[in-house]
Each structure stands twice: as C-alpha cells, then as structure tokens.
Chain A
Amino acid sequence: MKTFLKSLLIAAITLFTFSCKKDTVTPQEPTPTPTESLLKIGETYILGAKAKAVVYSDKALVTGYNVIYVALYDSIDGSRLSDGHFNVTPMMDMGSMMHSSPVENTEDTITTGGYFKTSVVFIMPGTSTEWSLNMMFNNHKNGLTGHGELGVDVVSSTPSKCVSTTIALDSNAKVFISLIGLANPIVGINDFEIVIHKKLGMMNFPAIENYTVEIDPEMPSMGHSSPNNVNPVHIGKGHYTGEVNFTMTGLWNVNLKIYKNGTLISSDQYFEITLH
C-alpha cells in the first residue's frame, strides 16, 4: 500500500509537472493523489478503452449511500486519465435474479481532483461475488470505449443508513431512503441530508423529487424530541436537505414523515443516530 501510494505520488507529480509543461488549459486540476482519508476498494481494467480503473471510497462500502472516487490510468503508459465519459452501474447477482441499485453518475467529462465521482446506494449487503460495479469508460485520449467489472464487498451499515418501505398510498412504490453524511453527529445543530429513490424495475431506480419530508428526532429511551429542527427540502436529484438538532449525547431516532401532495404516506421510517 505504502509503495503503491509512493508510486502514485511520483506518478502524480510527474503528471502534474508534465501537464504543466504541456497543457496549461487545466491548471486548476489539483494533485490527483488519493488522500489519506480515501480507502482503496479495488481496481480493474476497462477492457476496450485501454484504461485501468482504481476505485476508492472514504470508508468500506456499506448498505446505504456511498461516494466512490474512481481514478483512471492509461493501461499502457500508466499516466492518469482525466478526460472522458465515465459511469457506473452497480449490479447484484443473486443467482436466480440480478438487479441494480440507485446510482448517481457524474455528467462531467473531466475528473474533479483527479477522480470521477459516483454515488451508489447499496440496497442490501453482499459479497464481492454478488455485488459488482460495472464501469463504462469512453476514453477521450484515444476515443475508445470499454467496460470493466469490479466485485465489491458491501456490509450492512449498523445502524442502517438506508431504509426501505413499500408505500401503499403511493401505488405500492418500493422506496429507498438513504442518509447522507452525519457520520460524526454533534450535540447542537447538524446538517441533515437524505436521498430518496424508487424502484421501477430491476434496473431502474429513479430519484423521487416530489415528496415532502418532515423530521422529528427522538430519544427512544426518554421519549423526547429536540427543538428547532429544519425539515429537509428538495434540492435536486432526490436530495433533501435540512437541519437536525440534538440536545444531548446518546441514542437518537430521527423519525421521518413523508408526504405526497399533502397526504401523509409514510411515518414509520427512522434513522438511528448515536452521539458519543
């Protein structure tokens, strides 16, 4: 790992100096080195595009919302690739059937900080023989398009960062609500963000943008709430942001009330948050 990082660092520096000399069009691109906080998930060749993808995340992949950072390299000279169309399709192979899960692929054709950033909502846990990230890359360097597949382990997030429910009042829609952030909640005010997806088929998980969400944090062992929470409002692509307040440490449940067109359609879902 260390030697890998070292070589990456060297590669990055050379790339940086190289790009500086040759191409001053993208001087804003920072050092494309995985920072210490990123964890390597795995790597695979993107066959057909003469590229190799190295997948990072800020932590091991869990059920719920995960942000993955993909660095692409020229499989011949090892140089970093920053230009192209890239997307990921998560796939679950359950033997008898296969299904995907919600994913947010970047529309950028240029890497940010050296990475293509993709968010995946894993809707169930699985091993690397079950879950895989199917990656497609259209390499602008050589104009080639290829595919690669990386098996990944997905463990259950405890407490769960993704809840799912079938909402009878919304045409029996199977809905996935994922918590984003809030990894280190504090006593006081916290940003609160969720993303809501719906299952329209094995391979189709669109974002839901027309719900209204109310939150009510509660300490289950005491039965009390907290004041002045800001209900999440939709900001785009199924993301809803607000503020959640905690008045003390301990175990909290952030209860969710979901409305559609003014009708309460779900009120039994919640996220467990522990403050130490």
Chain B
Amino acid sequence: MKRFLIIIAACFFIQQSLWSQNVSKDSVVKTIHLEEVSICDESSDKNESFSFYRNSKLANTEDILSRMQGVNLIKRGAYGLEPTLRSFSTGQTNLTIDGMRMYGACTDKMDPVSIYIEPVNLKSIQVTNGAAGALEGSTIGGQIEMHLKEPGLTCQKQSSGQISQAYSTVNNGSNSSAIWQQSSNKLAYRVSGTFRKADNYKAGSSKLIPNSGYQKANTSAALLFKVNTSQIIKLDYLGDWGKNIGYPALAMDVGTASAQIIAFTHRFTFSEKFLQRNELKIYYNDIIHQMDDTHRSDSPMHMDMPGWSSTVGFYNELTGAKNFKIRLDFHRAYTRADMTMYPVGEPIMYMQTLPENNINDMGLAIGRTFYLNKKQQININGRLDYFTQVAIFGAGSKQWKVFNTDITETQNNLLKNINISYVKQFKASTHIQMNFGYGERIPTSNERYGFYLFNKQDQFDYVGNLKLKPEGNYQAELIFKQQYKKIEYSVNLFYNHIQNYIYAYRLKSYSQMTIGAFGLKTYKNIEHAVSEGFEGTVKVQLLQGFSYIGSVKYVYSQTYNGLPLPLIPPFKLQQALRYNFKLYQFQFEHDYAMTQERINLDYGDRVTPSFHVFNVRASKNIRIKSSVLQITLACENILDTNYREHLDIGSIPRFGRNFLISLSYIF
C-alpha cells in the first residue's frame, strides 16, 4: 500500500530533468525505467495503482498534465488544451510522443499533440525544462514527452484487458475505453481504444456554454517482437478521429479532424559494459484538420478552414554508461492551411492562410554525466540543429507578393543548445542542483509564413515575418530538495533571459482581412524578455493512511521595456489530501489561483480574478477472483464556482459542479 501511495504521489509530479531523474529517488521514474529495460516484465497494466490513477481518477491526459510541475494549460474549448511550460508555449517547447516530432495542422492551435494520447495508451509523461530538454530537439522552454504504453514480453503466455466506462454530468459526457493485451516471451501486442462524447458543458451557476461539446475516437496498437536476446522490433500505430469539436473561445469549431501515427522501432541491447542500448525509430504522422463555422449562428458567411500537417522522420539514439547518450535525428514536416468563404451570390473567396511549406531539421545531440565523487556530479548535454524552412511555390507564395516578399526563399538556421547541471548530495536527505543552459528555437511556420491568421484573443489578423531570427534563451535554475521519512519537499527557482524574443506588433495603416478584426499585426524580434519564477512541492505522510501533496507554481515575466508578456499564469496552488483504507480511497482537492493583474493589453489579456475550486473523489476496488472492479465517484467544483483560469482564451468560464462516475473492470 505504501508503494502504491508513493507511485500515485510521484505520478502527480512526474517531472524534472532527465538528469535529476537519474539521481533522485523518484520512484515512479525508477518504475518506468525498470519497465523499459526488463525483458520479462509482468504486465504493467496489472499494476492496480497505475490503472486506477489513469482510468478512474483523472479523466484525460490534460487533467494529468495540468497537475504537473511547471505546466499550465491554454484553454480554447473543453477539448484540446495546449500545455505550456513555465509560460513557454507551442513552438517554444517541444511536445512529442515517443520522441516523434509532430506539428499541429490547426493555425488556431486547436490540436496540440497531447490530444492524441488517452490515459489508456499513456505510459508516462516526462517534463524537462529549458535546454536540458533539448536532447530531442532545439528548444528554449523544454520538452514534454509522452510515452505510449507498450506491450511487455512475459516469461509465460498471458493476456489481460480492461474495460472502462465513465460518465460526467456537467456535459452529459461519456468516456468508454478498452484495452487488450497478450504477451509471451517472444511476441506481445497491445490494442486500446477510447470513445468520448460530450455535449455543451455547464459553467458555474448553470450557465450553458454553447459550442463546447465534442466527440472523438482514439485507437492505438503496438506489436513487439523479440528477434533474439539483444534485439527487439516494435511497430506502433495510433489513430485519432475527432468530430464536431466545439471551441467556444474561438470563432470556429472543428468539423472533423484525424491523425494517424505510425512508427517502427528497433532496439538493440548491448552486452558490453559501456554501451547499453541503441534505438532506431522511423516514423510518419499525418493530420487533417477541418475547421468550419457551420454551427455558429453569428457568422457573417459560411467559412471553411482546413489544415494539413505531415511529418516523416527518424532518430537513432545510442545510450551507454554514465548517462552517455548520442542521438542523430532528422525530420521533414509539411504544413498548410486554407480558408474558403462562401458569400451569397458572389464568387468564393479563397486564401492560403498558411502557405504550403516544409521544415527540414537535422540534429545531433550528445550528453553524459561526469562523477566528480560519490556526492557530486556534472551532467552536460548539447544539441545542434540545422533547420531549413521554405514555402512551396504556389497560391500561398503568390499571395505573399503583395508584401513584396518571396517566401520561397529558403531560410536556414543553425540552432545551438547546451545545458550543464551540477548536482550535489548533502547527507542522504538533501540535494542541490544547479542548471545553466542556453537553447534556441526557430520561428514557427505561422510566425514566418502565416497570412492573415486571426487571433481571437486580441482580435487582430497576423501576417508572418520571414526574416525573424531564432529566439535564444539563457537560463539558470536552482533546485533544492530534502527528503525525510515522512516529509519531502523541493523548491525550484528559475530564470530565463530570452534574446530576440518574438513579439507581435501592429502594422499601422494596414487593413485586416477577417470581418470584425481590428487590424493587422506581425512579429518582430525584440531585444529581450525575461521570465522567472519558482515551483515548490511538499509531500507529507500524515497519520496512518493519510497523505498530503501540495504544489505551487509562479512565473513573472516582462519584455526588455517592462511590459508583461502575454498569457502568463498567476500564482497557483494545487493541494490534495488522501486517505487510504483497505481498498477504499478518498481524496479531497483544492486548487487556488491568485488574481492575475500583470497582463499584456496589446495581446488582449484580461485581468483574471482569483478563485478557489474544491473537488472530492472516492474510489473502491473490488476483487472478483483474479480481476478487479474499480468504482470511482467524484464531485468536481463542489461549490459550483463560476471561474476561469488566466490562460483560458476568451474568458470562457470552466466546468461548473460536475459529478463523475466511472467503472473499470480489469482482468
């Protein structure tokens, strides 16, 4: 039971850098690493705590993400929340699935990669801040990597599965999922599927939020084959289909969206002392995103905005002793977005809002640890990326002529990332880590090639700026941790100095395109911006069966001339008190955010009032022979508070009081 608690607690805070994981006593990370390397793993789905946590306690990946250290979510609808890391958003961070690069097909950022992961196929989420997270791609903000569940080889033939059904009252939402897995010592496979459907939800005080329902189906399949004692081959497929997904904060919704991901992985395990493993992955993903305003009564004329994205790539990663890692990777991405409007009795109006373009990236990363002595170590990792970005000659590039710009001219950027961390262990209980890093990121396709992309937040259209320079971030971080028998806590302080920060400004005397927009904006590199803050967590074992987890996060940021950066979350506290008794679990949660008055008016930020939200959950596991039936009941937002978080676009309030019930049968 204790182990169970620790894992649960740790799951809440899967976090930290790759490096700190290697030195910390983070049990969940240990567990995951064990899973990865063990050849004859007893199916991890049998681990009740994991299944419990994933399938019953928190309904979706976003709920899990929102409780992770340093993570805040930008919300545009009930679905498709965009994770940010210490206020760095998409483009500044890398969000990956098993190390695969993917680019959203939506110019309105409706489709962060995290939507393709459901709790039934999520193994773990690893958050790495700053340049320490640049092993798999240049970044200034860090990396959020989600790992897909994979079938494990077992010494004996065995099969297992799970069926779950959940219902929530706030949006008449249902969530059905199933897992099936079979394994032997040679071959294993795993399939899972999820179907979710929700109507418009009610915010606090029973206010119905129109255009907030959604439907989606997700399936994933993995096949693992052991070639011989040192080689494993794995095939992955993930498919995701969304339909009628409402985005109340935006002007449009999603009619249909689909994503397909396929990957081939080859793992070679060395029997040598220094070299440990080589992993080669070849992958392809394809996204089609059909955005329209069919369900909007207030739209002046019918409009379609489809978007496409496909990426092909590979990586080869060699790992060895002393955390040695060398990784070579390449990916090529294609993105495009169109807009077509249908005025009554007039010819259709067509525009490529994101002209067809390609990004090519070749990267090389190296990392290793130097042990100074038993209690001190230095970790170094670095990465170089050579990016080329180019628009394809066509309708989109011709449009750009009106700005006297030839976007088919190739943009080349060499990006440099380095992170050095120093770790010192005082006694057994105290741990200090200092990170110094520098990371870079290229301007996104939107920032370079976007053509009159409407931003609902500030009501401006945006055109790209071909000549943007990459952002570069000098960062420093101090982590202090103490672990005792019944209490452990950590404090992280961080500082980012971002050079050539990409900032939007108004193009005066230029006309907007979108009806109702206030004008036209573009991007420029400003001298610098600064973002700093802290995170803290406390875990306490109270009386027998009671445990407490509390965490705080805060970011303060400003441009070189003192303007607050847009979309910066206020101080936030998340705490939970748990009581475990036999196979029962009770949990009481409290979330609090301070008011955010440091806002960027240019961007259309609005002051967000503070709020308190309380949730309560109860669950019970019932053993039926060798199977387990899990029942979970929850009431979220008990007081039916009408509130919103600062990163909620369009000031749309969040869920009101919500009763949830879920049943899972694990066999």
Which B383-433 residues have C-beta < 8 A from chain A? 395, 398-404
Among the listed A228, A248, A276, which residue makes an inter-chain contact with B399, where contact means beta carbons less than 8 Å apart?
Answer: A248
Among the listed B347, B401, B513, which residue makes an inter-chain contact with A251, where contact means beta carbons less than 8 Å apart?
Answer: B347
Q: Could you write out 14 A-B pairs with CB less than 8 Å apart? A: A187-B351, A188-B400, A221-B301, A222-B514, A224-B513, A227-B520, A247-B351, A248-B350, A250-B341, A250-B343, A250-B347, A251-B346, A275-B347, A276-B347
Chain A hits for B346, CB < 8 A: 221, 250-251
Does B543 count as interface, using CB distance less than 8 angstroms? no
Q: Report the bound CA distance from A186 to B512 in whole Å.
A: 20
Are B301 and A227 in touch, CB under 8 angstroms?
Answer: no
Are A227 and B347 in touch, CB under 8 angstroms?
Answer: no
Which B502-533 residues have C-beta < 8 A from chain A? 510-515, 520
Are B510 and A247 in touch, CB under 8 angstroms?
Answer: no
Report the nearest A residue to B510, measured CB to CB.
A227
Interface residues in chain B, defined as those with a beta carbon under 8 Å from any beta carbon in chain A: 301, 339, 341, 343, 346-351, 395, 398-404, 451-452, 510-515, 520
Are A250 and B511 in touch, CB under 8 angstroms?
Answer: no
Are B404 and A248 in touch, CB under 8 angstroms?
Answer: no
Chain B hits for A246, CB < 8 A: 402
| 3 nearest A-B residue pairs (beta carbon) | A250-B349, A225-B511, A248-B351
Q: Report the bound CA distance from A72 to B570 in whole Å.
A: 84
Q: Report the bound CA distance from A221 to B303 in whole Å.
A: 13
Are B515 and A223 in touch, CB under 8 angstroms?
Answer: yes
Are B515 and A247 in touch, CB under 8 angstroms?
Answer: no
Interface residues in chain A, defined as those with a beta carbon under 8 Å from any beta carbon in chain B: 186-189, 219, 221-228, 245-251, 274-276
Are B404 and A187 in touch, CB under 8 angstroms?
Answer: no
Chain A hits for B343, CB < 8 A: 221, 250-251
What is the CB-to-nearest-CB distance from B348 to chain A, in angstroms, rounded to a whole number?
7
Q: Report the bound CA distance from A223 to B395 in whole Å.
A: 22
Are B349 and A248 in touch, CB under 8 angstroms?
Answer: yes
Chain A hits for B452, CB < 8 A: 247
What is the CB-to-nearest-CB distance from A192 to chain B, in angstroms, rounded to a whole number?
13
Q: Report the bound CA distance from A187 to B395 in whole Å.
A: 8
Q: Report the bound CA distance from A114 to B189 in whole Å.
A: 80
Q: Report the bound CA distance from A250 to B520 in whole Å.
A: 20
Sample of 15 more A-B contacts, CB < 8 Å, known A221-B341, A250-B350, A276-B347: A187-B395, A188-B401, A221-B349, A222-B341, A222-B513, A223-B515, A224-B512, A224-B514, A228-B403, A247-B402, A248-B513, A249-B347, A249-B351, A250-B343, A251-B349
Q: Report the bound CA distance from A248 to B513 in whole Å.
A: 10
What is the CB-to-nearest-CB distance from A244 to chain B, in angstroms, rounded to a whole number?
10
Chain A hits for B349, CB < 8 A: 219, 221-222, 248-251
What is the CB-to-nearest-CB distance from A190 to chain B, in angstroms, rounded to a whole number?
10
Report the nearest B residue to A220, measured CB to CB.
B346
Are A227 and B398 in touch, CB under 8 angstroms?
Answer: no
Are B511 and A228 in touch, CB under 8 angstroms?
Answer: no
Among the listed B348, B511, B514, which residue makes an inter-chain contact with A227, where contact means beta carbons less than 8 Å apart?
Answer: B511
Among the listed B398, B400, B401, B515, which residue makes an inter-chain contact with A222, where contact means beta carbons less than 8 Å apart?
Answer: B515
- Most A CB atoms within 10 A — which of B339, B349, B395, B400? B349
Known A-B contacts A187-B395, A221-B343; A249 and B350 likewise in contact (beta carbons under 8 Å):
yes
Q: Report the bound CA distance from A225 to B510 in whole Å.
A: 8
Q: Report the bound CA distance from A227 to B519 in whole Å.
A: 12
Chain A hits for B395, CB < 8 A: 187
What is the CB-to-nearest-CB distance from B408 to chain A, in angstroms, rounded to a whole number?
13
Q: Report the bound CA distance from A219 to B398 in whole Å.
A: 18
Chain B hits for A248, CB < 8 A: 339, 349-351, 399, 513
